[in-house]
Amino acid sequence: MTAVAIATFDSEGAWLRARTRAIAAGHRVVGEWLPYASKAIGSGEGRGGILPWALTGGAIGGFGLFALECWTAIVSYPFNSGGRALLSWPAFIPAPVEFAALTAGIGGIVAMFVQARLTRLTHPAFDWEEVAEASRSSFVLALGCTAGDDANAAVALLANAGATHSRVIGL
């Protein structure tokens, strides 16, 4: 990708029409900025959810602590208390359950930061004047394309869909 075709729309209908046509034509949507939330964004192109991260974190934490308790009781410091078995696993259950809940919460927080891309302090798109206007009154769609004919075709597609302003930004 060496260029971005960016267009501004006055209504959500025109923006949605352009988005649908661009995806059908094989263009990749690299940015969408709207003055309010729309149900069209994220419908079918998500990156998963937080739940798998939380479940994975909880499972790793719980099983890890249980394995640590078993290793400590059997190998590292075996202690025969009243003739009981070294692996008395029912006594080992409460701590791994609590630790699994803790690590599941940490996994969920990590997933939130990763999926929301909150570690980025700035984005180059915020330098474009169309994006600054999108938070107030307009709908902006950016398509990734190669320079030349592909970029011109993308701009023509956006203009035919009802864009009030469209241009190509070289990267």
DSSP, res 127: G
Q: Which amino acid is at 159?
A: A
Closest of 159, 156, 161 to residue 14, by C-alpha:
161
Q: Which pLDDT score, from 0 to 100, does residue 25 have? A: 87
pLDDT band at residue 60 using 50, 70 and 90 as cut-offs: very high
Q: What is the pLDDT of residue 44?
A: 45
For residue 65, pLDDT over 90 is answered with: yes
pLDDT score at 1: 52
Q: Read off the tokens for 28.
A: 């990749």
Q: Name the pTM for this structure.
A: 0.58
Average pLDDT rounded to a whole number, residues 118-141 = 78
Q: Which domains does the chain have, with CATH numbers?
A: 3-35+135-170 (3.30.70.1710), 51-116 (no CATH)
4 — pLDDT class (breaks 50, 70, 90): confident
Task: Say if residue 170 is exposed, middle or buried (CB neighbours under 10 Å; 0-12, 13-18, 19+).
Answer: exposed
* Residue 57, pLDDT above cutoff 90: yes
CB distance 22 to 71 below 8 Å: no
| pLDDT, tens digit, 9 for 90 and up, residues 149-163 | 678 888 888 888 888
* Spatial contact of 145 and 154, defined as CB atoms under 8 Å apart: yes
* Mean pLDDT on 22-32: 87
Mean pLDDT of 130-138: 78
